[in-house]
């Protein structure tokens, strides 16, 4: 049994410990919270539940004994056994059986009188004598790698504190709380001062994401995904210099991987969609189109790598390596080579057009609505570090063929036409763009189909599979264009029925 202990000096620090644990756990297991009354067990449990479920009310289960939660990719049970009548009642609560497919967070497990199995992870909380706001936490686990990872997270947290101490957002001046992350290795915290002013900290430890499976390189390296903060800072500053609304960089230590950013809030296009705000959404899409038209009027940033056929082909290989095996389909090496050659040719054909800065992530979760601003400045752009020099159609696809939400056909048609009318006068140019849009749409969605299966299988995030029917629908729509006839024929010959996916399959 490995263990690590440390001291936290605030509730916010306790909340961060809960967020450290989240990426280290699978979708099941038993976490025991140990300590006297009032030492912070329930505070930690609330933060742990919110790490999965967002900013929800998490009541103490002291009287109900067990509270269930449905989080992102996981089911949780939070139990407080302090008022357990008899140890044998533990069987009636169903906690032991639930450990097979839930994360069970249990306070006062000793009340079960040894009937519970050994905890996968135990957190012991104690007061620190003479310091009312401090807590001593000891984390022990059967998995030594988990404890090692927690220790690394603690050390990284100390580096964050040291960086912030050099700014006007030091721990003495602002409280730090974790923000929901994304599918990347980046972490985000919101810092809030007593006057209500806030900023966002990006914490990004450099390094490739994934194994070196591509001729000794990670996937992120061969397709030019950014691997450290300098790429973000450089692109963010380029966009700002070209009159785009991005968060201002307040302070940074690029070598350490810290960037302190202006806080543009949480009102993304995805949040507006979830809230059912149909009145605002057309306005947001109009500003998004204005942003793209403005961005695509500029030549690509001169420091960007080319989004050429080789990169695009490698991206689509995720469809072969993850999606097709998930569907029970394995293709031959010869078929794979044909697929890669087809996509390299298609991708290279797009490079004949004037190259623009392609953000690659111009979609709902990366657009922050700024209602106090005017015109296209009402749209703040984040997650810009993976930009490449390529065809303008790609980012329009990202917007209108959104991987996470449905865009109405009416909105798609209106936004597409608004963009084309603003950029092209000649019918031949519009036809060429329609061809590029279909190619970019198919390429992006083949890639995303592979990524979402990879996230489900490799990273234990099965909820991404819920989006696959939408992704497959996009692929089918794009394949209707004659430019993709060879891709459609390849699928018919090598992977028949691979796109016959409905919601029940996900």
Lowest mean pLDDT among 46-50, 183-187, 290-294, 308-312: 183-187
pLDDT tops 90 at residue 370: yes
Report the chain's mean pLDDT, rounded to a whole number.
Answer: 92
Give the SS3 label for residue 353: coil
Predicted confidence band at 52 (pLDDT cuts at 50, 70, 90)? Answer: confident
pLDDT value of residue 184: 61
CA gap 251, 231 in Å, rounded:
15
Q: 264-494: CATH homologous superfamily?
A: Aminoglycoside phosphotransferase (APH), C-terminal lobe (3.90.1200.10)
pLDDT value of residue 458: 86
Predicted confidence band at 230 (pLDDT cuts at 50, 70, 90)? Answer: very high
pLDDT tops 60 at residue 183: no
**Which residues contact residue 446 at a Cβ distance below 8 angstroms, ignoring those fewer than 6 apart?**
315, 316, 318, 319, 323, 475
pLDDT value of residue 62: 74
The predicted model gives 110-115 an average pLDDT of 89
pLDDT tops 90 at residue 272: no
Q: At what angle do helices 427-457 and 468-479 cross, to 10 degrees?
A: 150
pLDDT tops 50 at residue 176: yes
Higher pLDDT, 245 or 503: 245
Higher pLDDT, 239 or 371: 239
Predicted confidence band at 182 (pLDDT cuts at 50, 70, 90)? Answer: low
Alpha carbon separation from 471 to 319, 364, 447 (Å, rounded): 12, 15, 10
CA gap 306, 300 in Å, rounded:
10
Number of other CB atoms surrounding residue 91 within 10 Å: 12
Predicted confidence band at 504 (pLDDT cuts at 50, 70, 90)? Answer: very low
pLDDT value of residue 448: 98
78 beta partners: 67, 105
Lowest mean pLDDT among 68-72, 229-233, 355-359, 496-500: 68-72
Query: Within 22-143, where are the H helices?
Result: 41-53, 90-93, 95-98
The DSSP 8-state label assigned to residue 121 in this structure reads: E
CA gap 376, 294 in Å, rounded:
9
What stretch(es) of the chain map to CATH 3.90.1200.10? 264-494
CA gap 211, 364 in Å, rounded:
29
What stretch(es) of the chain map to CATH 3.40.50.300? 2-162
Predicted confidence band at 280 (pLDDT cuts at 50, 70, 90)? Answer: confident
The predicted model gives 274-282 an average pLDDT of 83
pLDDT value of residue 5: 93
pLDDT tops 70 at residue 209: no
pLDDT tops 80 at residue 470: yes
User: With pLDDT > 90 as the criterion, what percentage of the chain qualifies?
Assistant: 71
Predicted confidence band at 159 (pLDDT cuts at 50, 70, 90)? Answer: very high
Give the SS3 label for residue 198: strand
Q: Which two tokens stand for residue 66?
A: 């067990």
pLDDT tops 60 at residue 287: yes
Give the SS3 label for residue 406: coil
> Which residue, 395, 397, 369, 373, is CA-closest to 384?
395
Q: At what angle do helices 409-423 and 393-400 cross, to 10 degrees?
A: 160
Predicted confidence band at 208 (pLDDT cuts at 50, 70, 90)? Answer: low
> Per CATH, which fold does 2-162 belong to?
Rossmann fold (3.40.50)
286 and 279 Cβ atoms separated by less than 8 Å: no
């Amino acid at each position: 049994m490995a263990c690590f202990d440390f001291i936290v000096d605030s509730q916010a620090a306790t909340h961060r410990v809960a967020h450290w644990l989240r990426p280290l756990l699978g979708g099941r297991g038993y976490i025991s919270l140990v300590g006297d009354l009032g030492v912070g067990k329930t505070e930690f449990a609330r933060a742990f539940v919110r790490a999965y479920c967002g900013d929800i009310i998490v009541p103490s289960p002291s009287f109900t004994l067990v509270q269930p939660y449905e989080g992102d990719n996981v089911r949780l049970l939070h139990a407080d056994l302090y008022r357990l009548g008899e140890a044998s009642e533990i069987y009636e609560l169903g906690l032991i059986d639930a450990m097979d497919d839930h994360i069970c967070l249990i306070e006062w497990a000793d009340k079960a009188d040894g009937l519970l199995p050994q905890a996968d992870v135990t957190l012991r909380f104690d007061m620190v004598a003479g310091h009312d706001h401090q807590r001593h936490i000891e984390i022990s686990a059967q998995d030594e790698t988990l404890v090692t990872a927690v220790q690394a997270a603690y050390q990284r947290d100390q580096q964050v504190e040291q960086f912030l101490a050099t700014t006007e957002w030091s721990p003495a001046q602002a409280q730090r709380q974790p923000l929901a992350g994304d599918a990347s290795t980046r972490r985000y915290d919101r810092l809030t001062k007593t006057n209500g002013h806030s900023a966002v900290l990006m914490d990004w430890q450099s390094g490739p994401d994934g194994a070196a499976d591509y001729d000794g390189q990670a996937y992120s390296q061969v397709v030019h995904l950014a691997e450290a903060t300098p790429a973000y800072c450089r692109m963010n500053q380029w966009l700002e210099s070209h009159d785009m609304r991005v968060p201002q960089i307040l302070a940074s230590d690029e070598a350490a991987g810290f960037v302190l950013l202006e806080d543009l809030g949480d009102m993304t296009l995805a949040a507006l969609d979830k809230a059912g705000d149909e009145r605002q959404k057309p306005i947001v899409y109009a500003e998004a189109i204005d942003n793209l038209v403005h961005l695509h009027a500029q030549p690509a940033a001169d420091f960007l790598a080319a989004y050429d056929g080789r990169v695009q082909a490698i991206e689509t290989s995720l469809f072969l390596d993850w999606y097709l095996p998930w569907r029970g389909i394995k293709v031959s090496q010869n078929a794979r080579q044909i697929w890669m050659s087809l996509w390299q040719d298609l991708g290279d054909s797009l490079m004949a057009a004037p190259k623009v800065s392609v953000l690659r992530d111009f979609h709902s979760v990366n657009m922050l609505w700024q209602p106090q601003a005017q015109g296209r400045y009402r749209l703040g752009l984040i997650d810009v570090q993976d930009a490449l020099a390529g065809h303008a159609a790609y980012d329009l696809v990202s917007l209108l063929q959104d991987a996470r939400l449905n865009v109405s056909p009416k909105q798609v048609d209106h936004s597409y036409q608004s963009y084309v009318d603003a950029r092209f006068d000649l019918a031949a140019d519009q036809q060429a763009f329609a061809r590029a849009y279909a190619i970019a749409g198919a390429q992006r969605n083949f890639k995303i189909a592979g990524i979402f299966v990879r996230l489900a299988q490799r990273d234990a995030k099965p909820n991404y599979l819920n989006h696959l029917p939408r992704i497959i629908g996009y692929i089918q729509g794009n394949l209707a264009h004659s430019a993709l006839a060879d891709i459609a024929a390849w699928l018919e010959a090598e992977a028949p029925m691979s796109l016959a996916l409905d919601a029940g399959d996900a």
